[in-house]
Amino acid sequence: MADDSWDAHRAEIEQLYIQDNKTLKCIAEFMSSKGFRKTKSQYETQFKKWGLRKKQTVPRNTDWNFIAKRVEKRKRLGKENEVVIDGETIPSEKVRKLQYGKMFVSTADRFSGYGAPSPKTPEGVVVRTPSSSIASLDQAWCGGLSLTWNASLPWLQFTKLLQFNQDQHRPALSPVIPIPLSSEVSVQPDVEKAELIQRLAYAFPSKIRSQLRYMDIDSRIRAMLTVLMPEEYEGQHQLTQTNRLSIELYILSNNLEVNDRNGYRIFVSIRAHNERLLAMIRTFGWHKGRQFKSLLASREPTVEAIVEKVFASAVFQVDIEVVKLILEAGMDPNSLIKAVSGGLFIPLQWAATVTNNRAAEMAEVLISHNADIELRYGGSSALFRAIANKNMEVIEVLLRHNVVVSLPSLAEATGIDNATLFEKLFTSCSDVNSLIYNTTIMDYRPQRGNITLLGAAARSGRLRIIEIILRRCPSLVNPRELEATGGADYFSPISVAIANNNTYALKALLDAGVDTNFVNGCERPIIEQALAKYGNRAYKILVKSGYTITHQPMSYKRLSVLMRLCIAGKVNYTIEQLIGEIARPSYNFTEWSGEVLAEAINNNEPLVIGLLLDFGATIDPNKVIGTWDEGTARYLDTRGALQAILDENGPKILLKALELGKWDLAQWLVIRAPVLLDESLYSRNTPLSIAASSKQAGLVKFMLKHGARVTDHALFMATKRIKKDAYIGEVSSDEGFEVLRILLSHFSGPAPTAIAEAEYGRPDIESTDKGTDQDIYLLELLLSEGVEPTGTPEAVAGENWYGLHEPQSALEIVARSGNRMALEILTQTPYNWGAKALGRALATACSLPNEGLIDRILKHKPNMNEEIGFWRYLPGSPYWKSLVTFSTALQGAVRKQSVSVVRKLLGFADTDINYAAKGAYGRTALQYAVENGNVELVMILLNHGADINSVPAEYGGATALQLAAIQGYLGLARRLIDLGANVNAAGADIEGRTALEGAAEHGRVDMVHMLLDEGALIFGDAGEKQYKNAVQRARGNGHYAVARMLEAFKNKVEQSAFQVPGMFVDGWSEVSEEEKDLIV
């Protein structure tokens, strides 16, 4: 054979021979299985021509220091190792000899760099997973499912239509898609394969992508296709060459282009996807003639789903030519499309939103094809979005087509600097004398409330708009009826103007006669609202308009502004007159003065304090928070007011003084009232713990002398301060250690919180060798001074303990840190941790996972089925600690995709493989494996007896099949069904989906069809509910092809039923009680 045939396979052969260190016999057998058959002598001859030979010596300048540490690090993470130097795989025995001969690594050195940044890899050195492991991984992924596919699947039906003369009763699509999808293509270059891998990878969580990176590129493609895509014939995915076009279209039709587990969508990826898709359809020539009409005429779900995606991409890219062609082919212009952000839009809304010079043209095209200009999605119309985005051209298009201008849209238009356009919109609005429930900035924060159109204009501050409204609608100046209707939620235009600091608008409103006394929704008087604004311009405008300042009491903050104005001579009042006026009994002086006096104390205003006390003010102790200094405290003591404050709020005041570093005040208070050191007065932080954190040895001794008792929390605070200094790069603090030693000399007993803090790291701050050594030193110091590590750590504010929910021992916090050395120290102590604590530590370690830690814990015979909880975010919410997910050691190891750890845990007879899923979005081990699309782990668990139909967790849980259906893992779903997975299993009680509902919601065309074929209920009480939910979820997410397929399937079954007497009675209407319980 010519050299060309050899050159086509050269890269792969070199990889096998040089880097994978395969023998000629292995290479010949492997290549023969791929259709390239050569003898050993032919390989030898060709290798001489290429100049290929394996190196026999290791370069002398090899950095064995780096290799030893990298191998050790990978061992700790449970990874096998293979060392390749300059393309040569070094035998493992030789690695051991050279590694420890050239560079011995002590135990201390192995841990000293823990958490430090990885050093730069020397040129020519690779430390990777061994080829033998990769081969077994390939076999596990590609050979473990053994699937048989039903030819009725939409994708398989679609590929038939691309072949001539397959079905005379159905239109062939081969003229429309001229490139055959089912035939093999010529040799694909590695660059093209890499691009294909990237496309397929989007359908998998990142953890799986990292698992598969150890496979060669062909194996990765096979593995991913096995999980995602049906085969047209047995063994199709095993072929070396794969038709990329076929995969692209399948990914499109089943909405797999971006399937991130957490729902995040990357702008660049989506945009690139849109551009690539539009380029592809131009390659087909679909942008010419009536090709889209021919496609949609096929009524094939796969085709319809593809066209939906093309239409969405064309709308987002404002590709008017393609948008027009698809609309002419019959696409609904009002169909929902999913944007880059993941949000849903109607195409006309997108045209109104996007900043593109052709957006108005696209809007015209959509309207000409019967787009509903009044249609609202997400509460806003196309006109509202165009106004909000100041898209003038689209606004004009909508007005030309006689769009109805709603009051909310007109209110939004008050922010546009175009009076002519606003007047045109005003003329088209039929209801300007109503209230608008909207978000307005009030009191420096957004608040929901009722405003009028004039209030909306006051918010924008545009004077020309205000003038138009006052001229054309004078009834809005003082709309008493609307004010009464708005009630407590009503914000007057005056309040809105002040809150938004629009002083020119405020003056215009006052000049027009808007009532300043009507405030409603804003509880504070107008004068207080004005005094809250920087510069007091609004206040001055009100005063010039005749508004008096002493008519009613006000907060201390506003009063202090007036007092400063009094001192500066900018108002015609003295401070005494001001307070005297406001202190009239008719204004509930007692309640008001108590709050104002407390604020005056907190702000160290002796003049005001004295005046208010002279006027008979009574202090509200609960309002005094201790920000004052010693002088204020002594003054209050001389006036006889201090004792009442200390009796009611003394502990808080002392803590505040300590937090502010007012040491003299703190000591004076302790001398004045020693009882304030009693720790029973405090829930967590005590005066001693704050003093410990301050590194004030003298203050700590002072408190101990006056009766303070050392607690676990005080030790924790001292330890935390030492660590904080180290983490931020400060020199090791002698003062910090002095404080800690003073406290330890007065302490005995358990202090699990301090022990946990001693080794607790902060992932947001880079660790250093020195910092890690200090952690161990702190831990050993605490233990050497007799501190017991057992007990339950406190729930300390500001510490999330690596996200652990309510840790029950310091041991699990140490395990979560991954600090193997600290774990060894603690487990070597004479204290009996017990199987429960060890089991929780094991479950924690398996969440990393770190095999070194896991092996250490397993030696102590832990309970294998203890569960630990992790805080997690509520989806769509920024709030940490919203929900808790629980997992056992096995569940954690599966979630982290650690095959070796999973095998190890399953080797223990008491490991419960079917331990129930608990907590928010909890999963059984099998459910985690399926959710991640990890075929290897799925097969391991199934072979060990995992229950396919384990019930889902109550909140956000799902069965294995439901997860496969939602993720679009068709191959996994097929295998689960073959093994008896219940296609009609009920979803979780909260945020749950049945398999059919989840597949429909995410646009998985082939998954939905397979579930229907396998008996997913669509009749009877349970079936009707599931059917309606599935259709609704599909339509609600823009997957109309799926919705139509569901409807067509149901109609077909119903038509068949009418032709079979008694079918509904026997098979559909009479649903068993068991079936009814499946879907609630």
- Residues 6 or more apart whose CB falls under 8 angstroms from that of 948 comprise 926, 942, 959, 960, 961, 976, 979, 980, 981
> Residue 556: what pLDDT?
66
Report DSSP letters for 113-177, one per residue. Answer: TTTSPPPPPPTTEEEE--HHHHHHHHHHHHSS------TTSHHHHHHHHTSTTS-TTS---TTTS
What 8-state DSSP symbol labels residue 330? T
Report DSSP letters for 426-468, one per residue. Answer: HHH-S--SS-EEEEEEETTEEEEEEE-HHHHHHHHT-HHHHHH
CB atoms within 10 A of CB 514: 21
Higher pLDDT, 538 or 916: 916
Q: Please determine, for residue 736, whether its predicted confidence score (pLDDT) is greater than 70.
A: yes
> Residue 92: what pLDDT?
64
Helix (H) or strand (E) holding 393: helix 392-400
When pLDDT is cut at 50, 70 and 90, the band that residue 264 belongs to is very low
Report the C-alpha gap between 673 and 653 in whole angstroms.
Answer: 12
Three-class SS string for 542-606?
HHHCCCCCCCCCCCHHHHHHHHHHHHCCCCCCCHHHHHHHHCCHHHCHHHHHHHHHHHHHHCCCH
Tokens of 1009: 């069809």
Instruction: Give the model confidence (pLDDT) of 811-825 as tens digits.
Output: 999 998 888 889 999
Higher pLDDT, 158 or 535: 158
Report the C-alpha gap between 122 and 118 in whole angstroms.
Answer: 12
pTM of the model: 0.79
CB atoms within 10 A of CB 390: 14
Residue with tokens 């985690």: 928
Q: How far is CA 761 from the centre of its chain?
A: 23
- Residues 6 or more apart whose CB falls under 8 angstroms from that of 642 comprise 633, 636, 672
Higher pLDDT, 811 or 501: 811
Cβ atoms of 840 and 829 within 8 Å: the answer is: no
> Residue 130: what pLDDT?
66
Question: How much is the CA Rg of the chain, to the nearest whole Å?
Answer: 37
> On the CB side of 216, how many CA atoms lie within 13 Å of its CA?
17
> Residue 56: what pLDDT?
53
The residues that bridge with 871 in the sheet, in sequence order, are 884
> Residue 504: what pLDDT?
93
Average pLDDT over residues 883-911: 93
Cβ atoms of 575 and 608 within 8 Å: the answer is: yes
Cβ atoms of 200 and 228 within 8 Å: the answer is: yes
Average pLDDT over residues 983-1006: 96
Question: In 3-state terms, what secondary structure has residue 933?
Answer: coil
> Residue 100: what pLDDT?
55
Instruction: Give the model confidence (pLDDT) of 31-45 as tens digits.
Output: 776 668 888 888 888
Instruction: Give the model confidence (pLDDT) of 551-606 as tens digits.
Output: 556 666 666 666 666 656 566 666 676 666 665 544 566 777 777 788 888 888 88
Cβ atoms of 711 and 700 within 8 Å: the answer is: no
Average pLDDT over residues 128-147: 61
Instruction: Give the model confidence (pLDDT) of 937-965 as tens digits.
Output: 999 999 999 999 999 999 999 999 999 99
Cα maximum dimension of the chain: 112
Q: How far from 409 is each of 286, 414, 430, 636, CA to CA, in Å?
A: 39, 9, 12, 58
> On the CB side of 42, how many CA atoms lie within 13 Å of its CA?
12
Three-class SS string for 838-856?
HHHHHHHHCCCCCHHHHHH
Report the C-alpha gap between 727 and 721 in whole angstroms.
Answer: 10
Report the C-alpha gap between 564 and 570 in whole angstroms.
Answer: 9
Helix (H) or strand (E) holding 997: helix 995-1001
Task: Give the relative orientation of helices 935-943 and 899-906 as an angle to the nearest 10 degrees.
Answer: 10
Q: Please determine, for residue 74, whether its predicted confidence score (pLDDT) is greater than 80.
A: no
Q: Closest Cα partner for 295 from 283, 304, 287? A: 304
When pLDDT is cut at 50, 70 and 90, the band that residue 364 belongs to is very high
Tokens of 168: 């005379």
> Residue 602: what pLDDT?
83
Report the C-alpha gap between 963 and 970 in whole angstroms.
Answer: 11
What 8-state DSSP symbol labels residue 990? B
Instruction: Give the model confidence (pLDDT) of 217-233 as tens digits.
Output: 777 888 888 899 998 88
Average pLDDT over residues 502-508: 92
> Residue 200: what pLDDT?
79
Q: Please determine, for residue 146, whether its predicted confidence score (pLDDT) is greater than 90.
A: no
Tell me the torsion sign for CA atoms 495, 496, 500, 506.
negative
Q: Is the peptide bond before 849 cis (omega within 30 degrees of 0)?
A: yes
> Residue 733: what pLDDT?
62
Question: In 3-state terms, what secondary structure has residue 1018?
Answer: coil
